[in-house]
Structure 1
């Protein structure tokens, strides 16, 4: 004879396959949805055939032993004998109870012997021990019952009033529940793992329109759409397909793929919207995101707020990093943080305190002065830094430029310690070159012709003096240096000219004195005649 083990798999997770067979039969004598004490007994269902595979019929005695190894090993628990078991078309069932200490989580193997009923012959062992599934290890589970059906039975544990809507298949309530606060599943394949007053499914009549909803636990949570999940917490609601609430309290993921990680009274109310946590945050447009904080609002598509409080992003693809009471109304705009900043224009940027980028392309950086800094002209760069503006072009901060506090002109770094390779300058030569340098008035092509400037071109300046990095730019330090050297040359020339003038003045005075003497002498001579 040969034997084939057939376990009824009533539980979706496969945790109590053998137990449920016994429970199902017990339920035939009691109302559905009432718990049955399972204890350590489970039902074995097998199939008995001859050597050619033909099913046997009749009455047989069976002997069952449990071992800790597939061969040899140690017998565990008692030997169970089932006499006069009816076999129909090769199939039979019998309850088995090896005691509660046999199944501890390790692998167990069942050895079976059989003989014709009402005989005292020795048992014929069936070939090979059968490994028992994990199902047999989960014994002594009171307050656990099943609702069999032809598709996938429901498994209900916990409070006796926990329930599954009639017609639902594949549902699991693992436990929890309390008087007046029971767990309930209204749609196919829903799961409530524990807690109480939780619901998986929309309870809208149909049992197949919102399947696979899951509530992990907590209190008064609702997963109301297909594949929606509430992990735990209190009064949370996952109302969109594939939506998720991780925990916290009074959070709502109300649309498809919406997510609320936790916190209090947060809402992700549009497809793909996300709120990580915090309190009273609302992401209400497609793929809008709020990381956390308090009372932030992301109202347009693809907007993001990192945190802070009382921030509002109402421009598409806009970002507020954090801070307090910041606002974006322009698309693709950024407020990294700070307080009371506004980016109204598209592609604008406002940072600091009370920076106002009111036009497209405005970049406004405002310091901590409590005064508005508005940008009302498109594509303007504005900075308010009452402590000065400093730009460094070297790691050691020995080169760069600064606009000191209260100043209206740039100061470039000119520290002797930052310079090298000094060489003298022939100021007269510089003056001569400067005298030959073409100086003209002109306008930039990017400005109106009426806006005039005066000076040389960078190419002429480079050709005359060979200074600077290239022939397209004139550094102010070089222009200033040329001017100072030329002034020195003019000074030297003026000193030389002053000396010459002084000499000429002395010579002229001497000549005038001599002329006066001659005139006096001539006058006297004429008088003597």
Structure 2
């Protein structure tokens, strides 16, 4: 077992006043991390523990305790050790040897670890309490976990902290670490669960450094917020930035063409609602579109909506009215950026004859778009003409991102619908159905 090292041990030291009726034994719980060649070990291991009176050499105190078949998961293991009453005021040092289960090839773990627990503290059997008037009721010190608890019943609590003070800065449980994790939790259902009971309280609050993260997470759902309260002020996830150039909620997806930076879904309301300007630096893909405003004639009770004008091309539309000269000619001048933005022009001309004269007046384009201008002619001079010109976008972004009018559904999208109910398919076949 070359390259094997054991780090991070658990031992209790109590500086509080324990109840006299607290049961105590000489057995204590030991938690450690076992590594092989620098990597966390996993599997079954036999462990030997012995007690010594010196960090090197010295005399062994009592007998060697062998723990066979200890489960090591991701490097971590927990076991109980009982050396009997071997804790006088003199220092004691723990020596550990490890072997794969049944192999009987033990390797010593060096150096030995000093034990600083007293028999009473190492033998605590929960529940127990400590009462003190000092700022800290109990101070515990160890290399890995100075405070550690185990609950074996279905509703037990391993570690519990409570602060009954009404001060806003009161803390029930606090953990701090210079480089690692201040508080670490691990569970089959929840690694950590936090509840705030006051009506305006916060269940989880995180604060990061200048470039850090206040609340982070990993997993199928890295961060989830669930609000069960009714009303317009209820939020599953609420993001707020006070920075001049900050972002209230930021989402990013970097894997695959059907990954989503931010995904919203609603069966009855809005999947996303924005109360201000919206800027999109890419392509907006939608099943339909419209504007909706308060109705100009009845803004208190009605909306007014208009649909977008769509085309398979990236088409721009320009229009206006012009009056030809006495000879029937007129030139329409477009903005100076027109040629740089558009190509492939189409024209429509309509003669305006509010007098409804018997003469049928014709209009035609006599000079197509060139240098931002096109010219028209009417069969009668001084005639009003309504014109419309369309052009296909030719700017750099449009040339690089042409819309693919028809395309195959691929990957996770294949076999699914944007609107399955319109084709007689079940809701489970929707693009946004849980997969």
- TM-score normalised by the chain length of structure 1: 0.24
Structure showing greater radius of gyration is: 1
Greater share of residues in helix: 1
The structure showing larger relative contact order (alpha-carbon pairs under 8 Å, at least 6 residues apart) is: 2
Query: What TM-score, normalized by structure 2, do the two folds share?
Result: 0.29
